[in-house]
Structure 1
Amino acid sequence: SPAIAAIGAAALAHAGASIEDVDLVDLYACFPSAVEIAADALGLPLDDPDRPLTVTGGLTFAGGPGNNYGSHAVATMVPLLRARPAALGLSTSLGWYATKHALGLYSATPPERPFAHLRPVVDRPPRRPVLASYAGPAVVEAATVPYDRSGEPEAVVASLLTPAGERVLVRSEDPALVTAMLDDVLLGAEVEVAVGGGTGTGSGEERLVVTAPGRPGPTPAPLPAAPRPPVRTERRGAVLVVTLDRPEVRNAVDARTAEALEQAVDDAEADPGVRAIVLTGAGGTFCAGMDLRAAARGELPVTAGRGPLGLTGRPPTTPLVVAVEGAALAGGCELVLAADLVVAAQDATFGLPEARRGLVAAAGGMVRARERLPRNVAMELVLLGEPVDAPRLHALGLVNRLVAPGEALEEAVALAARIAGNAPLSVALGKRVVDESPGWAPAETFERQGELASAVLLSDDAREGVEAFAERRDPVWRGR
């Protein structure tokens, strides 16, 4: 569980402790697996007689979603900690799902650092695409056996990994497979998924043939790695660099890429340590727009939260800088138009060629082109569909910095770092006013600006900025 590992590391680091310093433990329990998952993520042994995994005694017998087990654990731990003032206690809870967790550290001795409600961002492991159907070789990653009402095993439901790292579920009523699973020889087995002649997933199309058994026979086959993620992230101080990483298709955005981009932006917005985002593309191209082949298969790059391309319907409130190398066309250009600052290589090109394909730049391209460029230039982009070079758009004000080829990313990161060095409240308000004020009525502009600005002008950061200037030192921003 990356979630439990993240909250455990954050809480222990804040308290200046390690898991070895914890004396009393109560892990949330609803099933044995919940306890085992939490112990594994936190680095707790399952069978330590000096540090059992519950002080309440519940574990699999008292736990369960909705029954307030977490409060019982804390209530039990409090008198134990009062009796041992130097001891440290740890208790966990979850919110219905094993991926949504809370953790608290408790002691009768006050901590060196005061309480803080921590919200660590969870590192996302590479995602595995899920296939609706599959035929070919695979490895059994996990499996389970459901039983019928008479208590007899009726089938095997197996989670398989393909050589490409994709995941597919297959259900089989083959008695030999059921027996193999009950004998624990199906896990890690190499299998062949064949079409036809079996009960399959319920559609009657797939059947499993074991080609090499797994545990406890020969060494289980290695599990195929997850496919390379279409979006990579990298922290550089207070800047998050987000890279579209599909160079084989010029970073065209399919549904999976849009979802990954939305998640990266959501994670950045949830992390108070991220003050600016840089978006770029791998392989010398920024983005060629929507993946038309994927779209033809019905895989449209539109997400529930941020809309087209996973970003343009609701751009981040965190300042966004784009670093453009090569082409930024169609949806790629629309991503650029949704940014706050643009850094481009001198040989970069931009364009909205949708009219040439019978499409329209409906991911914000038509609207934002008119907002950010003179009318006739916006019309040229939309009506002709021909590329425009970076030097021209720099002269027109769309591109903030023009750099030599290969230098766009470093310049964008440098700009983002300068944004991140400014007062966060001031930056947030400045971006909001610049974005929203064109829709304000002229008579109310200064009144609305004043209402929004008062909270910043009266903030701790405003006082800190003035004092730091007077004392000739760098300010220490607290965002309040």
Structure 2
Amino acid sequence: MGEINIKKHGHITIISINRYNVRNAVGYKTSKMLGNAFLDFNMDAEQHIAIITGENGIFSAGADLNDAKAMSQEVLGENGPMGFTRMKIVKPVIAAISGYCVAGGLEMALAADIRIADSDSMIGFLERRFGVPLIDGGTQRLPLIIGIGRALDMILTGKLVSADEAKSIGLVNYVTEHGKSLDKAMEIAKLMDSYPAVTMLNDRLALLEGLSRPLCEGLRIEAEYGKKTIDSGIVEDGAQKFIAGNGRHGKIDKL
């Protein structure tokens, strides 16, 4: 058991922060390990979906302020002080949140595509109290997810929000019973992994690359990724499965 634990279940990689003595805060060494873990995930063709979480009932308290001097060296770094928040991750990431998800911990969760929180989780930018800036994507990702007004409220006041409030404003997608967020993340990851990967990955990249672009440019990006999907042959395969009777009568998997 190290500062970062990595487990692989089929095509799903679980990356867990394991620094219980500092509430899973991320120090310089930990950040490098996180960056390497996501780089390996990015490059491993056998791994399709990643889940980031924290051990022992805590997601992360953010940056380890005991290591602030070393962490500050990465403020302008390519991958961000937390190790991966500026990295282009080409496959889906799910954040399974438990306990405190605050400061840089929240910024890590915002870098995920889907967020799932235990019912007793607490979420917010507590670093506001100490003058520590948001430098791992918080000022850019949060307003895209919950809107400018709500984002400014959280960023300027540093208030904590409950899991239920986070769901009501779109900050988290699912709320589970205590201790069940990772189970739910695995359920969703397995469902996603059951779908044709080429289409899912290209649709995801079309969305992300089209953000904040003019509509005409976003539509062009969508069309280019759509053409790549069609050229892969996956659509023809799917059409034949439908003709054969698969997926008819509106039968779909439910979450």
State TM-score, norm by structure 2.
0.91
Give, in whole Å, the separation in 1 of the partners of 2:159 and 2:219: 41
Kept in 2, the 8 Å contact 1:275–1:419? The answer is: no
Partner Cα separation in structure 2 for residue 333 and residue 457 of structure 1:
37
Contact 1:301-1:309 within 8 A present in 2 as well: no
Partner residue, 2:252: none
| SS of residue in 1 equivalent to 2:115 | strand
2:207 maps to 1:434: yes
Count of aligned positions: 246
1:286-297 aligned within 5 A: 286-296=59-69
1:357 and 2:92 are equivalent in the alignment: no
Partner of 1:457: 230
Closer/same/farther in 2, CA of residues 301 and 418 from structure 1, 3 Å limit: farther
Percent identity reads 26
Q: Relative contact order, CA 8 A, sep 6+: which one is greater?
A: 2
Is 1:233 paired with 2:18?
no
- In the aligned structure 2, how far is the partner of 1:455 from the partner of 1:401? 32
**Helix, strand or coil for the counterpart of 1:339?**
coil
Q: SS at the partner of 1:280?
A: strand
The code of the aligned residue for 1:239 comes to I
Alignment-mate amino acid for residue 241 of structure 2: A
How far apart are residue 432 of structure 1 and its match? 0.9
For 2:96, the aligned partner's letter is: A
The residue that corresponds to 1:410 in the other structure is: 183
> Which stretch shows the higher mean deviation, 453-462 or 398-407?
453-462
* Post-superposition offset of 1:271: 1.1
1:470, distance to aligned residue in structure 2 (A):
2.3
Partner of 1:423: 196
Pairwise CA distance, 1:307: 2.1
**Superposed displacement of residue 473, structure 1:** 5.6
Which of residues 31, 50, 68 is equivalent to 1:277?
50
> CA, structure 1 residues 376+465, in 2 after alignment: closer, same or farther (shift >3 Å)?
same
For 1:308 and 1:467, locate their aligned partners in 2 and report how far apart those are by CA, in whole Å.
Answer: 48
Alignment of 1:207-356 (within 5 A): 228-296=1-69, 298-300=70-72, 302=74, 305-356=78-129
Could you give the per-residue CA deviations for residues 111-139 of structure 1, whole angstroms, max 9, x where no partner exists? xxxxxxxxxxxxxxxxxxxxxxxxxxxxx
Q: Output the amino acid matched with 1:255.
A: Y
1:418 deviates by: 1.3
User: RMSD of aligned C-alpha atoms?
Assistant: 1.8
Deviations 1:39-84 (A, max 9, x none): xxxxxxxxxxxxxxxxxxxxxxxxxxxxxxxxxxxxxxxxxxxxxx
Q: Secondary structure at the match of 2:24?
A: coil
AA matched with 1:339: A
Q: CA deviation at 1:357?
A: 0.6
Q: For the Cα contact (< 8 Å) 2:80–2:135, is it kept in 1? A: no
CA separation of 1:437 and 1:420: change in aligned 2, threshold 3 A:
same
Distance change in 2, residues 1:289/1:339 (3 Å): same
**Distance in 2 between residues matched to 1:434 and 1:246, nearest whole Å:** 34
Alignment-derived partner of residue 50 in structure 1: none
Note the C-alpha offset of 1:354: 2.3
SS of aligned partner of 2:14: strand
1:204-234 C-alpha deviation (Å, 9 max, x unpaired):
xxxxxxxxxxxxxxxxxxxxxxxx4211111
Residues 392-433 of structure 1, C-alpha deviation per residue, up to 9 Å, x if partnerless? 110111211110010000100111111112111111111112
Q: How does 1:168-187 map to 2 (within 5 A)?
A: none
Tell me which structure has the larger Cα radius of gyration.
1
Task: Please name the residue that 2:217 is paired with.
Answer: 444
Distance 1:410-1:336 versus aligned 2 partners, 3 A rule: same
**8 Å Cα contact 1:287/1:332 also seen in 2:** yes
Cα distance in 2 between the residues matched to 1:269 and 1:313: 13
Confirm or deny: 8 A CA contact 1:301 1:310 kept in the other structure: no
Q: Which runs of 5+ in 2 are unaligned?
A: 248-255
Mark the runs of 5 or more structure 1 residues left unpaired by the alignment.
Answer: 1-227, 475-480
CA contact (8 A) 2:101 2:122 kept: yes
Output the amino acid matched with 2:148. Answer: R
> Which structure's residues are more often helix, by fraction?
2
Whole-Å separation in 2 of the counterparts to 1:445 and 1:358: 37
Asked if 1 retains the 8 angstrom alpha-carbon contact of 2:62 and 2:102, the reply is yes
Amino acid at match of 2:10: G
Q: Secondary structure at the match of 2:16?
A: strand
Q: In 1, are the aligned partners of 2:203 and 2:222 still within 8 Å (CA)?
A: no
SS in 2 for 1:311: coil
Contact 2:207/2:222 (<8 A) preserved: no
Distance 2:216 2:13 in 1: 39
Tell me the equivalent position of 2:173.
Answer: 400
